Structure 1
Amino acid sequence: MHCTRKVTEDIIWIGGSDRRLALFENIFPIPRGVSYNSYLLKDEKTVLLDTVDRSIAGQFLENLAFALDGRNLDYMIVNHMEPDHCALIEEIVRQYPEVKVVGNAKTFGMIQQFYTFDIAERSVTVKEGETLNTGKHTLHFVMAPMVHWPEVMVTYDETDKVLFSADAFGTFGALNGNIFNDEIDFDRDWLDDARRYYTNIVGKYGGPVQTTLKKAAGLDISIICPLHGPIWRSNLGYILDKYNTWSSYEPEEKAVMIAYASMYGNTENLANIFAAKLAEAGIHNIAVYDVSNTHVSTLISEAFRCSHIVLAAPTYNGNVYPVMENFLNDMKALAVQKRTVAVLDNGTWAATAGKQMADKITEMKDMKIIEPKVSIKSSLKNEQLEQLDELVAEIKKDF
C-alpha cells in the first residue's frame, strides 16, 4: 500500500521512514529513527527528485508507482549522491527504462563509481543557473558544493517556489505522519535532532553553507523540501536563521556547557561543584555532560549551541583522558570556533591534562581560554574553592 502526501497541487512527497536503524552512517545514534524524503513532480513531464535508502526501497517504489498513476517517469534529478539518497538509481532506471537522469558533471562521475550501468545515453548534465522546463513548471539548478559533498546541487521550482534542498535543512528523526513543520512542535521535538544533524554531518563546511544561503536569499522561496525531516512551508526565517547561526559558528545561546571525564568521581565532583557555583552566580543556562556516557555527536551539538565550554578531565598515561581527547579531536575536525573555554584538570602525580587540553583548544579558530586554569591533585580541597570562584566571576562577565 502507498503512503504519500501532497506538498503542492503538482508535487507529491513519496518518501518514508526507518525506525529500525540504530546508527546513522553507522556512527550517530538515532533513537527516533530517520526519514528519507523523495518527491515527484507531475506536470506535462514527470520528475522524480532523488531516491531513498535501500532500507525503505519497497515502500518507496510502491509510493512512486501510485503517484505516477500509470504514467511514465520522464526525469530523475539527482541532487545528492550519498547512498541514503541514491541507492535506488539503478532500480529506477531498470523499472523506467525511458527515464532521463539529471545531474551535474560530478554527479555522473559518482554514479559511475557506484554503478556499472550505462548512464551516457540517458544523462542530462546541468550547470549553475540552467533550467529544465517540464510544462508549466521551470526547474532552476543551483550548485551547492561541499554542502556536504562536492557534487551537491539544489533544485528550485520557479512556479511553486519550492526549494529541493538536498541534505540542507535536514534532521534526524522519523516522520510520524506529520511531514510539515506547521504540523509539529519543532522546538520541542525536533530542534535538538536538527542541530545534532547539522553540526555533525555538515558542521565542518560552514563556508560552503554560507555561500549556499546567499544564493538561496536571491530566490523567492515558499517551501523548503529537504531530504531528511520535516518540510518547511511556514516560518522559513526560523530555520534559515538557525542555519546562518550554525554555519557562521556563532553561539546559538548564552549558555555554559560543562563536559567532564572522571575515572573515580573526583573530577565529576569538581565539575558538579563548579556548576553549582555558576548557578549561585546567576547563570542558569547550564548543561553538564559526562563525556564517557554521552555520545560525542551530542557533545558536538552542545558545543555549537553554547557560548561557553568548560572542560574537566584527569591525566591518563601522561595524556588527556581518552574520551575527552576524542571530543577535542572532533571539535577541531568539525571546526568548532568562537567559543570561550575554561579548563579544569586532575592528576594524582602528574596533572598535565589541563595544559594539553588548552593546547588543543588553541589549535582551533577564534577560541578564548579564560583564567585561571584550575588544577587539582586527586581531589578538590577547600583552599582551591577561591580559584573556582575567580573562574566563575570571569565567566559571569559575559552574561
Structure 2
Amino acid sequence: MHSTRKIKEDLIYVGGSDRRLSRFENLFPIPRGVSYNSYVLLDDKTVLMDTADESISRQYIENVVHALDGRPLDYMIVQHMEPDHCAMIDAVMSRYPEAKMVCTAKAAQMFAQFYDLDVSDRTLVVKEGDKLSTGEHTLHFVLAPMVHWPEVMVTYDEKDKILFSADAFGTFGALAGNIFDDEITFDDVWMNDARRYYTNIVGKYGVQVQAVLKKAAALDIQMICPLHGPIWRENLGTLLEKYQKWSTYEPEDKTVMIAYATMYGNTENAVNVLANMLADKGVKNIAMYDVSETDVSELVAESFRCSHIVLAAPTYNGGVQPKMEAYLSDIKALALQNRTVAIIDNGTWAPTAGKQMRAVIDTMKNMTVLENPITLKSALAKNQLASLDALAEELASQVNG
C-alpha cells in the first residue's frame, strides 16, 4: 500500500524512511533512521523529482505508481547521482519507457558509471538558468556543484515558489507521517541531526554553499523540499540562518567544548577539574566528550557549534591517541576554522601529543591556539592547578567577553 502525502494539490510526497539502517553511508550512526525524499508533480506533464535508496524500493515504487494514478511519467529530474537518491533510476526508466531524464552533463556522465544502460536518447541535459515548462509550472534549474558532489543542481518551481534543494537543507532522522517542519517540534534532537548531517557531509564545502545561498537569495522561496528530513514551509529563516553560520564557519554558541582522550582516567580527571573551574567563572553549557566513546561525527558537529575547543590527550605509541588523531583528521578535512583552541597533553615518560596536536591545528585556517599548553606527567599535580586555573580564566574571559 502507498504512503504518500499531498504537499500541494498537484505535488505529492512519494519518499519513505529507513529505520533499520544503522549507519548512513556506512559511516555515520543514525539511531533515528533517515528519510529518502522524492516528489511527483502532476501538471500537464508529470514530473518525478529524484528517486530513492534501494532499501525502500518496494514502498517507493508503490508510492510513485499511486501518485501518477495511471498517468505516464514525462520527466524524471535527477538533481543528485548519489546512490541513496539514484538507486531507483533504472527501475523507473524501465517502468516508464517514455520518460525523459533531466540532469546536468556531469550527472549524465555519472549515470553511465553507475548503470550499463544507454539512455542518451532519453536524456535532457540542462545548464545554469535553463527552464522547463510543464504546463502551469515552470521549473528553473540552478547549478550547485560540490554541494556536495560536482553534478548537483537544485530546481525552483516558479509557480509555487518551492525550492527542490537536493541534499542541501537536509537532516538525518526518519519521518513518521509528519513531513513538514511545522508538524514536528524542531527541538535540539532534530537540530542536532541537521547540524551533524551538514557538518559531516557538506561541511568542507562552505564556499560552494555560500554560492548557492546567494543564488537562493535572488529567488522568492516559500518552501524548501530537501532529499532528507522534513519539508520546510514555516521556519525557513531559522534554517537559512544556521546554514549561513555553518557555511562561513561562524560558531553558533560562545562556549567551551572539551574533547579528551584518556587511558586510565588521569587526563579525564584533569579536564573535569578544568570544567569546574570554567563553570565557577561563569561559562555555561560546557560540552565534554570522551573521544573514545563519542562518534566522531558528533564531535565534528559540536566543533562547528562551539567557539572554543580544549583538546586533551595522552601520548600513545609516540603519537596522539588514535581516536583523538582521527577526530583531528576529520575537522581538518572538513575545513573547520575560526576557533580558539587550548591544548593539554599527558605522558609518563615522553609526552609529545601536545606538539603533534598543535601541528595539525596550525595547518588549519584562522585557528587561534592559546599559548602555554599544559603538560601532565602521568596525573595532574597540585603545582599545576594554578596553570589550569589561568587557562580557565583565559577561556572564560573570551567566552563571556
Q: State the TM-score, normalizing by the size of structure 1.
A: 0.99
Letter in 2 for 1:360: V
- How do residues 63-82 of structure 1 correspond to structure 2 at under 5 angstroms? 63-82=63-82
Partner of 1:352: 352
Alignment partner, residue 7 of structure 1: 7
What is aligned with 2:303? Answer: 303
Kindly indicate whether residue 167 of structure 2 is the aligned counterpart of residue 167 of structure 1: yes
State the Cα distance separating 1:150 from its structure 2 match: 0.1
* Residues 142-195 of structure 1, C-alpha deviations (whole Å, 9 max, x = no match): 000000000000000000000000000000110011100001111233000000
Aligned-CA RMSD value: 0.6
Match for residue 93 of structure 1?
A: 93
CA contact (8 A) 1:344 1:375 kept: yes
Q: Does 1:232 align with 2:265?
A: no
Say if 1:261 and 1:291, in contact at 8 Å, map to a contact too.
yes
Q: Does 1:17 align with 2:20?
A: no
Q: 8 Å contact 1:52–1:84 — kept in the other structure?
A: yes
Letter in 2 for 1:254: K
Partner SS for 1:190:
helix
User: What residue number does 1:149 align with?
Assistant: 149
Q: Partners of 1:343 and 1:177 in 2: how far apart?
A: 46
Rounded to whole Å, the distance in 2 between the matches of 1:66 and 1:383 is 73
2: CA distance, partners of 1:111 / 1:318:
46
After superposition, residues 272-351 of structure 1 pair within 5 angstroms as: 272-351=272-351
The runs of 4+ residues in structure 1 deviating greater than 3 Å are none
Distance between the aligned counterparts of 1:9 and 1:176, measured in 2?
21
1:119 counterpart residue number: 119
AA at the equivalent of 2:374: V
1:266 matched residue in structure 2:
266
- 1:351 deviates by 1.0
Distance in 1, matches of 2:9 and 2:220, equals: 18
Deviation of 1:359 after TM superposition, in Å, equals 1.2
- Residue 178 of structure 2 aligns with an amino acid whose one-letter code is N
Task: Give the counterpart letter for 2:115 in structure 1.
Answer: Y
Alignment-mate amino acid for residue 60 of structure 1: Y
Output one character per residue of 1:315-340: Cα deviation in whole Å (capped at 9) or x when no partner: 11111111111111111000011000
Larger deviation, residues 350-359 vs 160-169? 350-359
Match of 2:29 in 1: 29
| 1:233, distance to aligned residue in structure 2 (A) | 0.5
- Residues 1-60 of structure 1: CA distance to partner in whole angstroms, max 9, x if unpaired? 010111112111000000000010000000000000000000000000000000001001
Q: Provide the rounded CA distance (Å) in 2 between the counterparts of 1:84 and 1:235.
A: 26
1:385 paired residue number: 385
Residue of structure 2 in register with 1:51 after alignment: 51
Q: Which moved more, 1:288-297 or 1:2-11?
A: 2-11
Q: Give the TM-score normalised by structure 2.
A: 0.99
Q: Residue type matched to 1:53 in 2?
A: D
Kindly provide the amino acid, as one letter, of the partner of residue 136 in structure 1: E
Separation of aligned partners in 2, 1:283 and 1:255: 7
Match of 1:202 in 2: 202
Comparing 44-53 and 118-127, the one that deviates more = 118-127
After superposing the two structures, state which structure 1 stretch, 141-150 or 346-355, moved more. Answer: 346-355
Aligned partner letter, 1:145:
P
Q: C-alpha distance in 1, partners of 2:6/2:57?
A: 20
Counterparts of 1:188 and 1:302, CA distance in 2: 13
CA distance in 1, matches of 2:190, 2:178: 12
1:73 maps to a residue whose letter is L
Aligned residue for 2:3, secondary structure, equals coil
SS in 2 for 1:288: strand
Q: 1:256, 1:372 → 2: CA distance? A: 18
Q: State the distance in 1 between where 2:50 and 2:216 align.
A: 20
Extract unaligned runs of 5+ from structure 2: none
1:357-398 deviations in Å (ceiling 9; x for gaps): 111111110000113211110000111000011111111121
> 2: distance between equivalents of 1:279 and 1:324?
24
Partner of 1:363: 363
Q: CA deviation at 1:208?
A: 0.3
Uncovered stretches (5+) of structure 1, i.e. residues with no partner: none
Displacement of 1:286: 0.3
Q: Which amino acid aligns with 1:218?
A: A
Residues 66-125 of structure 1 show CA distances to partners (whole Å, capped at 9, x for unaligned) of 110110000000000000000010100110000010001001000010011111110111
Question: Residues of 1 paired with 2:350 and 2:33: CA distance?
Answer: 44
Task: Please give the secondary structure, in 2, of the residue aligned with 1:397.
Answer: helix
Quick one: which amino acid aligns to residue 72 of structure 1? P
8 Å CA contact 1:254, 1:285 repeated in 2: no
CA distance in 1, matches of 2:29, 2:143: 30
1:257 paired residue number: 257
**SS across alignment from 1:186:** coil
